[in-house]
């Protein structure tokens, strides 16, 4: 994420001291393979009609995929590894309109974690083929969960047994 | 999250070496205040009709809330600080049925990050009053984003201008 390099746009504000990001640690469990090589390639928001993308799990985490095929939609969490983390308010369109970081879904945030709901097309070994991503090729993967909505439906159905 | 202490349930599997969680670092930007003091208090899933909860931002991040009131629903990310991280497959009900960690929304996962969509009731200074959380009181906050769905609607509406 280059945003605008280190230059601030008019009205943008940053933390007044370096961000200490050591309250907890993350492990990258895999990588996302998308057709989007630079930020300008990325759609504003992923679509279930979008291109197939690959969610490649590190082999040691593959056993945790057991049963994933029963879910049609998944929530993915990933690390927006190119994002600066100190912006408190930003001007996404560089048009002078500034908004707080937490009122935007911009990748530039204190903890640059992206979330997407994707459609699971199929599984190929340690890899999931999905549609609905909008992030850069090579983005580190943090988590795979059944989508919240699908999960609720399934829980309800089970309750009727 | 005590789950079952360190004891594994029948059929559960774990990583065969310690998890190295140092690929990226997180900053806790605040804390969640809920009525749920122990795991048994927590609802299975939060509800917009549930009790009011408090999202307390650390003062240095408060400027990033600018404009948050224009969103009726928010996505919150938080750190499930009591969860063990090495389970590859789990038996949530201890009934012998084992599923992969990534096919469950269990808090026990390599990167124990929880996500919830909540209804924003109001803002009081550095604190947001919301409904829809299901996590323990004292859970560290990682991120606040406009809900994906609401954001889409707004983007579409803007496109019609």
CA A36 to centroid of chain Cα atoms = 14
Domain ranges of chain A: 30-157
Write down the pLDDT at residue B95: 80
pLDDT digits (tens, 9 = 90+) for A76-115: 999 998 889 999 999 988 777 899 999 999 999 999 999 9
**pTM of the full predicted structure?**
0.90
Write down the pLDDT at residue B152: 41
Look at the domain A30-157 and name its fold: Elongation Factor Tu (Ef-tu); domain 3 (2.40.30)
If you average pLDDT over residues B41-67, what whole number do you get?
95
Write down the pLDDT at residue A93: 82
Angle at A81 between CA A76 and CA A83, to 5 degrees: 110
pLDDT digits (tens, 9 = 90+) for A104-155: 999 999 999 999 999 999 999 999 999 999 999 999 999 999 998 754 433 4
Write down the pLDDT at residue A113: 98
Answer yes or no: is pLDDT of B118 > 50.
yes
> How far lies A127's CA from each of A57, A63, A75, B14, B153, in Å?
6, 12, 15, 20, 32
With CA atoms as reference, the chain B residue closest to A20 would be B27
| CB B112, CB B79: distance < 8 Å | yes
If you average pLDDT over residues B92-110, what whole number do you get?
91
Residues 6+ apart with CB under 8 A from A143: A29, A75, A76, A77, B102, B109, B110, B111, B113
Name the residue facing A102 among B20, B27, B144 (closest C-beta). B144
- Size of the A and B interface in Cβ pairs below 8 Å: 183
How does B103-129 read in b/e, with b if 16+ C-beta sit within 10 Å?
Answer: bbbbbbbbbbbbbbbbbbeebeebbbb
If you average pLDDT over residues B72-83, what whole number do you get?
94
pLDDT tier at B154 (50, 70, 90 boundaries)? very low
Q: Is B105 on the interface with A (CB under 8 A)?
A: yes
| Shortest Cα–Cα distance, A92 to chain B (Å) | 13
Q: What is the ipTM of this complex?
A: 0.90
| CB B145, CB B135: distance < 8 Å | no
Residues 6+ apart with CB under 8 A from A2: A39, A82
Q: For residues A35 and A148, give the distance between their C-alpha atoms in angstroms, rounded to a whole number.
A: 26
Q: Is B58 on the interface with A (CB under 8 A)?
A: no
């Amino acid at each position: 994420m280059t945003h605008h390099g280190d230059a601030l746009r008019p009205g943008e504000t940053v933390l007044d001291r370096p961000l200490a990001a050591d309250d907890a640690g993350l492990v990258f469990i895999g990588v996302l393979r998308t057709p989007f090589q630079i930020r300008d390639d990325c759609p504003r928001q992923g679509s279930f009609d979008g291109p197939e993308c690959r969610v490649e799990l590190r082999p040691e985490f593959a056993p945790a995929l057991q049963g994933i095929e029963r879910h049609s939609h998944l929530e993915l969490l990933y690390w927006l590894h190119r994002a600066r983390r100190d912006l408190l308010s930003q001007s996404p369109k560089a048009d002078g309109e500034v908004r707080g970081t937490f009122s935007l879904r911009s990748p530039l945030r204190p903890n640059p974690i992206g979330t997407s709901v994707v459609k699971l097309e199929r599984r190929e070994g340690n890899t999931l083929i999905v549609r609905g991503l909008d992030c850069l090729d090579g983005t580190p993967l943090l988590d795979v969960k059944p989508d919240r909505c699908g999960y609720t439906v399934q829980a309800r159905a089970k309750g009727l047994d």
